[in-house]
Amino acid sequence: MKIVMAGEGAIARKHLAGISHIDDIEVVSLVGGNPDDTAALAAELGIPHHTGDLAEGLARPGVEAAVLTTPTQMHAGQAIEVLEAGKHVLVEIPMADSLADAERLVATQEKTGLTAMVCHTRRFNPSHKLIHDRILAGELTLQHLVVETFFFRRENKNALGKPRSWTDHLLWHHACHTVDIFQYQTGEPAGDLWALEGPHHPELGIAMDMSIGMKAPTSGAICTLSLSFNNDGPFGTFFRYICDNGTFIARYDELVDGYQDPVDLTGVAVSDNGIELQDREFFAAIAEAREPNASVAQCLPAMKTLDRLDKVLGH
């Protein structure tokens, strides 16, 4: 399968590394916003074509799909462009930065019938998948999901330390991961919810700290989410699953119990790389002509919850 990779930053590199372990997938074009970085990455990885124009990349001979790792504000528009060009699309989280744009994307997928999937990687990380499998098997009941999402981003730079052309957002980007995984693990959209935010950055114009709470209406499970761009220390997102039958802490593709003892993830999936597993699901869904886990339709409830939280914050 010939595909286009859109984006030349840190997340694009993670996808390209994961795709390198998947048989029969060929990246034939790299589409980037920074010409020098795009050319350098294409040369480094031997990608035969690079451009700043998504339409040009999609028009390369034999292209069937695109993976979008571009700035958040471009996700919905570009995903719709890919679908309307007759190609399948995997778009990085979030699928949009507004509910209206997310609904437009879902409507376009329904109209075209093509595969459209969102990078809700937590669904595929072996650590979270093990918890999900045990919940479905009736071995665990979630009581409280406690999540910390911490970064130190007082300047507008990406994970590689380079200046960003866009501004990241705690709610529409980083909270989206937790909103989706909480609703995925409980099997229902959040009912009661609340949100608070701290002072806005004087230059970036965004809240640098945020606190969110959600409750599952049927099971009564709750989620407490703390987010910060002010945290000077180890960065990332850490999930504490407090269950009726044990406590578990998920850190990306690692899982420990409440006493920090490792939980064996052998055999949970064919890889220990959540991004690779997510990309495998996308390509498999295309090949098998089925709806993927984390399709745009399946992920729309997360966008509806984010929209509700946004209204609570008065935006």
Cβ–Cβ < 8 Å for 66, 3? yes
Contacts 24+ apart (CB under 8 A), 249-253: 250/125, 250/127, 250/128, 250/131, 251/127, 252/125, 252/127, 253/125, 253/126, 253/127
Render pLDDT for 176-191 as a digit per residue (tens, 0 to 9): 999 999 999 999 999 9
For residue 156, what pLDDT is reported? 67
143 shares its domain with 185:
yes
What is the reported pTM?
A: 0.94
Say yes or no to pLDDT of 15 above 80.
yes
Nearest 5°: the CA angle 202, 303, 238 is 70
State the CATH number of the domain containing residue 126. 3.30.360.10
On average, the pLDDT of the chain sits at 95
186 shares its domain with 82:
no
306 shares its domain with 171:
yes
Beta strands of 206-245 (E only): which ranges? Answer: 209-215, 222-228, 236-243
Q: 141 lies in which domain range?
A: 122-271+301-312
140 shares its domain with 235:
yes
Render pLDDT for 256-312 as a digit per residue (tens, 0 to 9): 999 999 999 999 999 999 999 999 999 999 999 999 999 999 999 999 999 999 999
6 shares its domain with 135:
no
State the CATH number of the domain containing residue 40. 3.40.50.720
235 shares its domain with 156:
yes
pLDDT tier at 140, thresholds 50, 70, 90: very high
For residue 158, what pLDDT is reported? 63
Count of structural domains, the chain: 2
196: left (phi over 0), alpha (psi -120 to 50) or beta: beta
In one-letter notation, the amino acid at residue 59 is A
pLDDT tier at 315, thresholds 50, 70, 90: confident
Render pLDDT for 54-95 as a digit per residue (tens, 0 to 9): 999 999 999 999 999 999 999 999 999 999 999 999 999 999
Omega of the bond prior to 94 within 30 degrees of 0, cis? yes
Q: How many CB atoms lie within 10 A of CB 277?
A: 22
Cβ–Cβ < 8 Å for 273, 125? no
168 shares its domain with 305:
yes
For residue 154, what pLDDT is reported? 78
pLDDT tier at 152, thresholds 50, 70, 90: confident
For residue 234, what pLDDT is reported? 85
Name the strand (E) or helix (H) holding 37: helix 35-45
136 shares its domain with 211:
yes
